[in-house]
């Protein structure tokens, strides 16, 4: 938010009322199927298909043995919406996390036995001091805040999610970034026993693991770059990247690497997983850009996941930098964003 001549005005990245969806939704699948006139046909549709079509109007399909806990945080009003974000059960059941499988439901089904304690996050490389943080450091020693961000997937769907965490820059400053640093690299946990997608090239989408990502140093130090340890006020579920993940809201979702164990400050551009797999489709920058299509689909619009299922999905125009251009456009001055995609 910003003030102009005594009036409170929205910044370009603020979440508008129309963009947020209610958390309270219907839970009775049979009643919904009957009301839509499907009768016996609806009853014969497999549960997971009904979920995909009608989305059960929000029925919580995952009974997670993974225990999340409440976090202590303040809400950053500059990133607070005037409503409730994409329903929790959709945020936690519609995921891309190929370490647990390539379908959207695989992570929520396959990650529930994921163990995060003990956990170590190492910050190393071109820094004044190497840091090693454990779970308590991530959730208790850091000052946590809640930020509601838009998430835009490269597959042309999107969500609005209230994350809890801290700016990436805060952590990098604690380590002391050296003057020769140009990039920051990130690495996901490599544990094939816990992450079945890392065992199987087919199940893991052909990615060479561990999953790696990267940002320029200026992107990493930008205030929007966020390390999330929770969502909806609680610690992250495993399918969403427990115990810590990156969130860079002006970039496509695959840049927001999950379950991070290593952050390395570098003096050169690091490799990134999707760029290694298909460089003609996934660039290093991966900024949300409605004018640069994916080779196999348009990026001009997106399907906003909110209340309801397929028939109620709202297709909206995609904004440059996902609507965060006011804070990040200057990072790319003089750069051809069509060739540096």
Using one digit for the tens of pLDDT, what is the confidence trace for 219-246? Answer: 999 999 999 999 999 999 999 999 999 9
The CATH code belonging to domain 2-332 is 3.90.420.10
User: In this predicted structure, what is the pLDDT of residue 80?
Assistant: 82
Nearest Cα neighbor of 145 from 204, 76, 209 is: 76
Residue 31 has pLDDT above 80, yes or no: no
Is 153 one of the annotated binding-site residues? Answer: yes
Calculate the CA 92 to chain-centre distance: 11
Residue 54 has pLDDT above 70, yes or no: no
User: In this predicted structure, what is the pLDDT of residue 111?
Assistant: 96
Is 240 one of the annotated binding-site residues? Answer: yes
Average pLDDT value over all residues in the chain? 84
Residue pair 133/121 in contact by the 8 Å Cβ criterion: yes
Residues 148-165 have a mean pLDDT of: 97
Is 99 one of the annotated binding-site residues? Answer: yes
Q: Is the peptide bond before 339 cis (omega within 30 degrees of 0)?
A: no
| Neighbour count for residue 82 (Cβ, 10 Å) | 13
Q: What is the pLDDT of residues 188-212, one digit of tens each?
A: 999 999 999 999 988 999 999 999 9
Is 258 one of the annotated binding-site residues? Answer: yes
Residue 61 has pLDDT above 70, yes or no: no
Residues 39-57 have a mean pLDDT of: 37
Residues 316-336 have a mean pLDDT of: 96
User: In this predicted structure, what is the pLDDT of residue 128?
Assistant: 99
Q: What is the pLDDT of residues 62-114, one digit of tens each?
A: 445 789 999 999 999 999 874 458 999 999 999 999 999 999 999 999 999 99
Q: What is the pLDDT of residues 258-268, one digit of tens each?
A: 999 999 999 99
User: In this predicted structure, what is the pLDDT of residue 1?
Assistant: 44
User: In this predicted structure, what is the pLDDT of residue 39?
Assistant: 41
By DSSP bridging, strand 260-266 and strand 121-125 are parallel
Instruction: Match 């208790």 to its residue by tokens.
Output: 140
User: In this predicted structure, what is the pLDDT of residue 220?
Assistant: 99
Residue pair 110/101 in contact by the 8 Å Cβ criterion: yes
Joined together, the tokens standing for residue 43 give: 């009853």
Q: Identify which has the larger pLDDT, 294 or 8.
A: 294
Residue pair 242/227 in contact by the 8 Å Cβ criterion: no
Is 10 one of the annotated binding-site residues? Answer: no
Is 257 one of the annotated binding-site residues? Answer: yes
Give the per-residue SS3 of 97-159: CHHHCCCCCHHHHHCCCCCCCCCCEEEEECECCCEEECHHHHHHHCCCEEEEEEEECCCCEEE
Backbone angles phi, psi at 125, to 5 degrees: 95, -135
What is the pLDDT confidence band of residue 51, given thresholds at 50, 70 and 90? Answer: very low
Residues 115-134 have a mean pLDDT of: 98
What is the pLDDT confidence band of residue 28, given thresholds at 50, 70 and 90? Answer: very low
Joined together, the tokens standing for residue 225 give: 């770059």
Residues 131-153 have a mean pLDDT of: 94
Is 95 one of the annotated binding-site residues? Answer: yes
What are the structural domain ranges in the chain? 2-332
Is 287 one of the annotated binding-site residues? Answer: no
The SS3 call for residue 238 is helix
């Amino acid at each position: 938010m910003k003030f102009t001549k005594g009036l409170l005005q929205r910044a370009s990245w603020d979440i508008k009322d129309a963009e947020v969806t209610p958390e309270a939704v219907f839970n009775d699948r049979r009643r919904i199927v009957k009301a839509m006139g499907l009768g016996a046909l609806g009853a014969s549709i497999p549960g997971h298909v009904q979920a995909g079509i009608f989305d059960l109007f929000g029925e919580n399909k995952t009974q997670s043995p993974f225990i999340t806990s409440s976090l202590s945080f303040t809400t950053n009003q500059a990133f607070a919406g005037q409503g409730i974000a994409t329903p929790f059960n959709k945020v936690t059941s519609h995921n891309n996390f190929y370490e647990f499988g390539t379908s959207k439901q695989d992570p929520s089904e396959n990650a529930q036995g994921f163990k995060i304690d003990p956990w170590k996050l190492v910050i190393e490389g071109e820094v004044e001091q190497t840091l090693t943080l454990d779970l308590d450091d991530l959730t208790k020693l850091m000052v946590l805040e809640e930020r509601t961000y838009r998430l835009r997937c490269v597959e042309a769907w999107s969500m609005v999610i209230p994350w809890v965490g801290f700016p990436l820059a805060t952590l990098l400053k604690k380590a002391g970034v050296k003057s020769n640093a140009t990039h920051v690299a990130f690495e996901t946990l490599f544990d094939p026993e816990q992450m079945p997608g890392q065992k199987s090239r087919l199940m893991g989408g052909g990615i060479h693991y561990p999953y790696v990502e990267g940002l320029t140093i200026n992107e990493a130090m930008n205030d929007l770059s966020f390390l999330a340890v929770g969502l909806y006020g609680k610690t992250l579920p495993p399918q969403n990247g427990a115990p810590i993940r990156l969130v860079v809201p002006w970039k496509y979702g695959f840049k927001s690497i999950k379950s991070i164990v290593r952050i390395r400050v570098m003096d050169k551009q690091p490799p990134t997983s999707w760029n290694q797999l298909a460089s003609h489709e996934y660039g290093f920058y991966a900024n949300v850009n409605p004018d640069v299509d994916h080779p196999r689909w348009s990026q001009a619009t997106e399907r906003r996941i909110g209340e309801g299922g397929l028939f109620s999905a709202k297709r909206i125009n995609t904004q440059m930098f996902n609507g965060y251009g006011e804070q990040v456009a200057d990072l790319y001055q003089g750069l051809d964003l069509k060739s540096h995609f």
